[in-house]
A = this chain, B = another copy of it.
């Protein structure tokens, strides 16, 4: 993303944030400078710090004092991360198997992000892990499991039935014609399920 694009993305994040619990700042192909700019743009646009999750870079989280960091599978160890961050900063770990989920729980992760559940062009050529495996992991985990990957609003009921504590969406919102309308639709469906409406 270019600098102008950060400001645009941050503006969208600010409009969306009342309808989601967290906004994940993640720029896999760029350097730390870009991630810091994006995160600061989000703060300037009014996204509350407690709703921002910074991907991988604990240094960026320290500079911005966001509410959470999301550690990739090859990220820093949870205990080390917690030793650096202010008390109360949440620490999630991205996992791709039951074994990884159990390890993350043992080392003190606050939640895990598990996926990808459905086919998604974010992970071309990689077989999705599916609902059965999600259910298995949720049953054996004592920390929240957030489902990720190819999730459309109509998937939400089966994901919660499988035990997911929440869902994370990338392309479904960010590549939608109207990211705000898309976020609202995900939220409407999640509310229907969670509140048994």
A→B interface (CB under 8 Å): 30-34, 36, 56-60, 62-63, 72-77, 80-81, 83-84
Contacts and interface: CB of A to CB of B under 8 A. Distances in A.
Contact of A59 (B33, B36, B62): B62
A21 B30 CA distance: 31
Contacts of A33: 74-77
B76 A60 contact: yes
Nearest to A83: B63
A25 B38 CA distance: 27
A27 to B, nearest CB: 10
A74 B36 contact: no
A152 to B, nearest CB: 30
Q: How many copies does the complex hold?
A: 2
A133 to B, nearest CB: 24
29 contacts: A30-B74, A31-B73, A31-B74, A31-B75, A32-B56, A32-B58, A32-B74, A32-B75, A33-B74, A33-B75, A33-B76, A33-B77, A34-B74, A36-B76, A36-B77, A36-B80, A57-B57, A57-B59, A58-B59, A59-B59, A59-B62, A59-B76, A59-B84, A60-B76, A62-B84, A63-B76, A63-B80, A63-B83, A63-B84
Nearest to A56: B32
Most B CB within 10 A of own CB, among A73, A75, A80: A80
Nearest to A69: B59
Contacts of A30: 74
A75 to B, nearest CB: 6
Given A33-B75, A63-B80, A63-B83, 4 more contacts: A32-B75, A36-B80, A58-B59, A59-B62
A59 B163 CA distance: 34
